[in-house]
Structure 1
Amino acid sequence: MRITKDPKERRKELIAIAEQLFIEKGYEKTAISDIVKKAKVAQGTYYYYFKTKEEILDKITDKYINQTVEGMQKIANEKGSNALEKIIKIFHFSSSFRNNRKSLIQYLHEDKNAHLHHKFERKLPVMISEPLSKIISQGVKEKIFDTAYPQEAAKAFIGVSSMVMQGIYNIKPGSEEYTKMLLATIDFLERILGAKSGLILNAYKKIGGIK
């Protein structure tokens, strides 16, 4: 019996299934026929929502950007956590999000997908600067951080971390190079925020972020 679904629900389902297959099999090895087979729909149904496989990958990119922003906003709006705890949660959230989708995120940042990489680089920094700025402002009030420019500090941190962590998708977590990138990023963050040296690093070590 054919199951009729709301168009928005069907579209969302196809994106979720494609994402799962891209992570499990790899983007290049996943065919549109694999997606429709798992979704149990006709090939024509897929083409009703998406013209190509590249288009659904583009929608997954948008999904990742929105999920990252929503995750950071949720942390920034938490009650009962101080700014240092929230910064550590941001690090943990970002690391977990990246590692759980590593193969696909790595593919999105390959040279041949420059337009998707640029979408990340263009949209994400602007969208996450607000929750980061909110956390930094909280930290200034709590006297954990010392900066007169929370908004600018958020933008500076995003820019610096983006440069330092460039290529991290191709590096094994826990490796010497991976750890060096994290240490450098945290060091720069402490300086940008005017935090006591080692404050963020030691807090991150406590949750096992760095061995």
Structure 2
Amino acid sequence: MDGIIDRYNKKVIEGAQRIARNKEIPVIERLLMAITSLNVSGAVSEEVMTHIHKPQNALMHQKMQQVLFLEITPIFTSIIQDGIDENIFHTVYPYESVEMLLVYATTILDDGMIELTDEEQLQRMRAFAFNAERMLGTEQEMISQQLMKILTKE
């Protein structure tokens, strides 16, 4: 299982890095793409994810999240910094804001952690965008509108 977790983490980190480096993608779209790239469903089999989310395997899940927070937070912070440089985001806490967004995204929006209906998941995503706008100091609806575009493409 450690090997599976390591491969999963490497795949997710590489995907986030690839997105963060692509300066041709607008900052908000890049941020949302990076967040949605964390969705574990496509990275490992459903059977493995079911196993990882069992209560007796909480330590394994925690290990996955710990590596992700240590590796992903700086990657996402670079996207936020690009947004600050472009006068899109206005926060004095880019790193800490990313941590808060990641905790929510990897807990509430993680398919295996909390069972949500499609309607509940959509509501959580709207709330996520709403609060991200405030935390990052961007215009109202700027993240929400982009999130809806991404969701309707899928």
Give distance in 2, aligned partners of 1:93 and 1:113.
23
Aligned counterpart for 2:19 among listed residues 64, 67, 75: 75
Q: CA deviation at 1:101?
A: 3.7
Q: Relative to structure 1, is the Cα distance of residues 102 and 200 closer, same or farther in structure 2, using a 3 angstrom cutoff?
A: farther
Aligned counterpart for 1:196 among listed residues 112, 126, 139: 139
Give distance in 2, aligned partners of 1:191 and 1:98.
29
Contact 2:35 2:105 in 1 (8 A): no
CA RMSD of aligned residues (A): 2.4
Deviations 1:169-211 (A, max 9, x none): 2646x71122122222222222211122211111121133599
Q: Which has the higher contact order (CA 8 A, sep 6+)?
A: 2
Aligned counterpart for 2:51 among listed residues 94, 100, 107: 107
Match of 2:86 in 1: 142
> Residue 72 of structure 1: SS of its match in structure 2?
helix
Aligned counterpart for 2:76 among listed residues 108, 124, 132: 132
TM-score (norm 1): 0.63
> Residue 208 of structure 1: SS of its match in structure 2?
helix
- The amino acid of 2:81's aligned partner reads S
Q: CA deviation at 1:99?
A: 4.6
- Equivalent pairs, count: 152
Matches within 5 A, 1:5-84: 57-84=1-28
**Structure 1 spans left out of the alignment, 5+ residues:** 1-56
Give distance in 2, aligned partners of 1:93 and 1:84.
14
Q: Relative to structure 1, is the Cα distance of residues 68 and 100 closer, same or farther in structure 2, using a 3 angstrom cutoff?
A: closer
Aligned counterpart for 1:160 among listed residues 89, 101, 104: 104
Match of 1:12 in 2: none
Q: Which shows bigger deviation, 155-164 or 112-121? A: 155-164
**Higher Cα radius of gyration:** 1
Contact 2:88 2:138 in 1 (8 A): yes
The reply on whether 1:178 has 2:101 as its aligned counterpart is: no
Contact 1:165 1:185 in 2 (8 A): no
Deviations 1:66-88 (A, max 9, x none): 11111111111113222112012
Q: CA deviation at 1:161?
A: 3.0
Q: Between the two proteins, what is the percent identity of the paired residues? A: 25
TM-score (norm 2): 0.84
Give distance in 2, aligned partners of 1:114 and 1:84.
32
